[in-house]
């Protein structure tokens, strides 16, 4: 190589190395399965007062939602069995509610699953979701009956039976 090209080659090599390193970091950052952005995060932030008002309505209703999630070993492919018991302030079962769940494993939060739970009677509701992985799951419930709307978020550890 001629001496005249040495410094331009070094500069071009450093630029190519910088672009290559940034592209490699971009691929690693966007392919991480543990990273996820909250869906509609901006709308949820703007509606923070609405969330606080819903929390107050939850307290006023006095409903209780007890959630259970477990790995269903008998299912093929493996499934996550989600069960809910919904009661009023006096402990009486609430039937006739529309119960919806959004669920995801905390370690892989981009795997957001949704289901409407089927009524099983006596205030119990259930659904089956694909089991993405074991570990801590976040379950976001919405229960509605008539004009009443109740929300609850639970974190449950799912492990092999």
The 10s digit of each residue's pLDDT in 29-84 is 888 777 777 778 888 889 899 999 999 999 999 999 999 999 987 778 889 999 99
The 10s digit of each residue's pLDDT in 102-140 is 999 988 888 889 999 999 999 999 999 998 888 999 999
User: Is the preceding omega at residue 77 within 30 degrees of 0, hence cis?
Assistant: yes
Judge whether residue 28 has pLDDT over 90.
no
Q: Is 1 helix (H, G, I), strand (E, B) or coil?
A: coil
pTM of the model as a whole:
0.77
Q: Is 39 helix (H, G, I), strand (E, B) or coil?
A: coil
**Helix or strand run (H / E) with residue 68:** strand 64-72
Q: Which residues, in sequence order, are CB contacts of 78 under 8 Å at separation 6+? A: 71, 72, 130, 131
């Amino acid at each position: 190589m001629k001496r005249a090209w040495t410094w331009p080659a070094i500069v071009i090599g450093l630029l190519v190395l910088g672009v290559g390193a940034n592209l490699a970091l971009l691929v690693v950052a966007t392919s991480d399965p543990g990273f996820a952005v909250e869906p509609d995060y901006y709308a949820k932030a703007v509606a923070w007062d609405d969330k606080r008002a819903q929390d107050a309505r939850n307290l006023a209703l006095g409903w209780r939602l007890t959630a259970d999630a477990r790995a269903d070993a008998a299912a093929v492919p493996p499934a996550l069995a989600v069960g809910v018991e919904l009661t009023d302030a006096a402990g009486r079962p609430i039937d006739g509610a529309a119960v919806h769940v959004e669920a995801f494993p905390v370690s892989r939060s981009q795997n957001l699953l949704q289901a409407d739970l089927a009524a099983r009677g006596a205030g119990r509701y259930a659904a089956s979701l694909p089991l993405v992985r074991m570990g801590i799951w976040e379950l976001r419930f919405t229960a509605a009956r008539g004009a009443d709307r109740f929300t609850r978020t639970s974190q449950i550890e799912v492990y092999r039976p």
